[in-house]
Structure 1
């Protein structure tokens, strides 16, 4: 049976830079795919924050997969909710609003620290009007996912996995002896669909049924791993030669209705910064983002966004206080 969803309706309080949330029951989200219309010129936000109520048997990981959200994403967005026992009827925030990465709106864009893929479908000689987004897993610190521009070099259905010697040696140290060839099938760690990148040895792929819930974490040997149902949707849409941009943007900025938003994710462990370093980097970004548009920053919101990363866009600007009208002096006799 489908659970009822609770979706917040939003009203911007421009004078405070806050969001006020009211709740209304809506239809189940199973019919709401990960496809969003690209916002109008000047806006960088897509989607909306949503809430659901946990059932008795739910974990946050179950809810994450149901909504196509990664593990770290949903845990970071719900810091006071127990990952394994949220509790029957507990309100769970589903982070389904995103600031688009600062990258071309074409092909595939993967923001590594966000652990999220964006795909901009477009016909020849036309710009994309939509964006499709999915959570992904990325490489561990000792198996970093590469950065930079590449392309989809090959599409493979029901791939066979030939584990490299380095991976076989790693597994052998843990007493797990890998075969030279893992045939296609439900336990193949590449899943049923794979998109080979132009960088040798790296793929965007699904996963076997035994690891289908480990999406949205740093757990791979450098490849981009997706939920099986997500790669199955993406695979037929992407053509060989599609450009791929792998970027490192733990802090993203975006405009919406004249308000500046910031979305903060934990930097990669190897890129860890102090708060002062993160603030300096954010201020440089804000200076560039506001070069053509004046803004009054909400210092408290900015500080909280950087100190307590939630992966959720936060308004960091507010409207300037109105200039008081001059008072008219009263005459006397």
Structure 2
């Protein structure tokens, strides 16, 4: 399956998804499709003077993705010559309708699902910080804006009174050059003038993309298109008797190994899982698909 720079395009997939029944989640019945996961993992040798943040930008990843895949590597001053994992493989979340956009807050990533039969395109994002969390739910795109003005919320001006009421388009505007307004008017999908905030909880509720990524998404997205915002820290892919799991668990997430085992048992697939591999993947929490298939089936 092919990957392209900046907009990662992947072909049809199959997955079994776990929706977390918590207040922050959009709950849905899990589905199973053939295909397992999309994309591929890569290896990269760190060059002199590179940080993981710069490497993430090079491969269109967010800070969280490169950090989680390479625990133990200094993200600011990695040793030159260190071989790091480029986590450019994903189990996409469920798309309940097409075309649509699905944002998974747990992995800080946006997925664009075009009409059936076309490839999926995915981008890293920045999301709302604690206390200004990005809301979950189903929304629609109501407006496409080029060179948006930033109307500074009163909550931000109270903390930063030096800011004007309105910031014109330009280098100082945190919305970048493109914005998509959702049916909840205070939430935008937009660019950024602070690319290091991608892959972090770095906004006041909006969804931020690299400037080149929002330009691509802006061309594909249309008014009226559904946008699903979910919080799905665990995803499971299945293909040809092989099982893959992808964890993006934080301390506040309640999903655990037991939930996954129950889900697999309900679908008659428990015999396919290696318990040791599942537990190890859970604790390592690397943020990319890991195979947990029981291999001793002869």
- Place the TM-score, normalised by the shorter chain, in its bin: 0.7 to 0.9
The residue number in structure 2 matching 1:241 is: 224
Partners of 2:200 and 2:173 in 1: how far apart?
A: 19
Where does the alignment leave 5 or more consecutive residues of structure 2 unmatched?
15-32
Aligned-residue offset at 1:227: 0.7
Would you say the 8 A contact 2:247–2:287 is kept in 1?
Answer: yes
Other structure's SS at 1:306 match: helix
Q: 1:316 aligns with which of 284, 292, 296?
A: 292
Superposed CA deviations along residues 284-322 of structure 1, whole A, max 9, x for unmatched, are 33335xx15563211111101111210011111224532
The residue number in structure 2 matching 1:74 is: 66
Other structure's SS at 2:106 match: coil
Q: TM-score of the superposition, structure 2-length normalised?
A: 0.87
The residue number in structure 2 matching 1:189 is: 174
The residue number in structure 2 matching 1:326 is: none
Superposed CA deviations along residues 106-145 of structure 1, whole A, max 9, x for unmatched, are 21000011100000122xxxx2421000000111120011
Would you say the 8 A contact 2:10–2:39 is kept in 1?
Answer: yes
Q: RMSD of the alignment, in Å?
A: 1.9
Other structure's SS at 1:150 match: strand
Larger radius of gyration: 1
Please, which moves more after superposition, 73-82 or 31-40? 31-40
TM alignment of 1:1-333, pairs within 5 A: 33-39=7-13, 42-104=34-96, 106=98, 107-122=100-115, 127-172=116-161, 177-208=162-193, 211-267=194-250, 271-273=252-254, 278-288=256-266, 291=267, 293=269, 295-322=271-298
Question: Number of aligned pairs?
Answer: 277
Cα 1:184–1:144 shift into 2, 3 Å:
same
Superposed CA deviations along residues 189-215 of structure 1, whole A, max 9, x for unmatched, are 00000011111200100011xx12210
Aligned-residue offset at 1:161: 0.2
Other structure's SS at 1:143 match: coil
Other structure's SS at 1:185 match: coil
